[in-house]
Every structure is written in structure tokens, then in C-alpha cells.
Chains A and B, each alone.
Chain A
Amino acid sequence: QKEVEQNSGPLSVPEGAIASLNCTYSDRGSQSFFWYRQYSGKSPELIMSIYSNGDKEDGRFTAQLNKASQYVSLLIRDSQPSDSATYLCAVNKAAGNKLTFGGGTRVLVKP
């Protein structure tokens, strides 16, 4: 079992719809969770961080964390073609300041 797992996609979403991305992790002691967006040929860009159970909203993005079930999700509302990218889930393990990344989910928003 991988430490951080994501569906590789592609997740195809019509413009204006909600894109829902999921990520599961294996280390029950993980404390910090991040979503990065990576456009093709570019570096990862931090878009959301979440540290406690529940929802966290930032603009069109909502991160949801459920530590009991060991998953974190990202919702993108009113999806735009500019949201087409690969979204990486990253998890900080219980000790230390290293992040473990999932393989990423490719999102395609179709006009």
C-alpha cells in the first residue's frame, strides 16, 4: 500500500461543475495535509493546507479532512478551463518536517 494514494485520472469535468478529488494516507499520526496544483511543465504550487478535521474553504476551493477515515479531499467549485492541471496531495507524517506526495490526479475541465 502506498503511503499517499490518489486516483491518477484524468478526471473530466464540464466547465462550471464541481470537481471532487480524493486522497487517502496510511500514517494515522499524520498531522498536516496539503493540496498542490501543478500545470504541465511547471512546478507545484500550494493551493490549500488543512490541519484539523472538517472543511476549510478558500475561494472556489474546499479541502475536507477526515482523520478517522484517513482521507483528505479537494473540491473545486465552478470549475474553469484554467483549473486543468495535476493536483498533488501531500501529507506530513507524525514526526519530522518531510512531506510524502501522492502521484497526483489529472483534472481536465472542458468548456
Chain B
Amino acid sequence: NAGVTQTPKFQVLKTGQSMTLQCAQDMNHNSMYWYRQDPGMGLRLIYYSASEGTTDKGEVPNGYNVSRLNKREFSLRLESAAPSQTSVYFCASSEGQTITYEQYFGPGTRLTVT
């Protein structure tokens, strides 16, 4: 059981380039989330998917798009990267249909935009 996996682990982009961050979970969870973590700002929700086929904006969605490809996979796309998107990105998942809402995190992607 790998839990939540993310690829890549590290990425350096130039301003204006695009890329997709991949996330997959093998826990049969319904809900998946993308966060970014910046020093002094804590974890901030970018987008989430409460169930397969649905996506919703979080606190900081500008500059990002997401796709819930199937129940296992949830990708985050940066269409035109900006230095302000330099951050550590975490994917998380939760069972999502009970009140517990415990979320489990992947290892993260460290992104630098120059």
C-alpha cells in the first residue's frame, strides 16, 4: 500500500512554462486535495475534488487547473508558471464520506519558478 504518491519530487521551471503535477492514491478514497505550503503562510488549499467527476476551488486557485482523471488520480496543472508559484505542493486524500475527514498527504513536489 503506497498511500498517496506524487510526481515529480522536484521541478525547476522558467517563467511562462507549463507543467502538470501528478497525484495518485491507492486507498480507495473519494476526496482528493491540492495544497501549497509557503514559509509563514501555512498550508493553503488550491483545489479539491469531493468525489470522482467533481472539482471545486479552494483558497488560492488562480493560476492553476485540476483534473480528476478517475477515482485514483488528481492532477494539478500550471499553464503559465510565475515566480509566485514557487512553493511546495502537497496532494492529500480522504475517505470523504464520513464526518472524520482525516486527510493523508503525499510526499510533496518542490517547485521552483525562475
Contact residues of A with B, CB < 8 Å? 31-32, 34, 36, 42-46, 49, 51, 88, 90, 92, 96-99, 101-104
Contacts and interface: CB of A to CB of B under 8 A. Distances in A.
Interface residues of B, number: 23
B104 A46 contact: yes
Contacts of B90: 43-44
Given A43-B106, A44-B43, A103-B42, A98 B48 contact: yes
A102 B107 contact: no
Interface of B: 31, 33, 40-43, 45, 48, 50, 58, 90, 94, 96, 99-108
A96 B106 CA distance: 22
B59 to A, nearest CB: 9
Contacts of B48: 97-98
Contacts of A43: 90, 105-108
Contacts, number: 51
Contacts of B99: 31-32, 51, 92
15 contacts: A32-B99, A34-B102, A42-B107, A43-B107, A44-B90, A46-B102, A46-B103, A90-B103, A92-B99, A92-B101, A96-B50, A99-B101, A101-B42, A102-B42, A103-B40
Contacts of A97: 31, 48, 50, 94, 96, 101
Contacts of B102: 34, 46, 49
Contacts of B96: 97
A101 B36 CA distance: 12
B42 A88 contact: yes
A2 B38 CA distance: 16
A104 B108 contact: no
Contacts of A104: 42
A98 B45 contact: yes
B110 to A, nearest CB: 9
Contacts of B106: 43
Contacts of B43: 44, 88, 101
Nearest to B105: A43
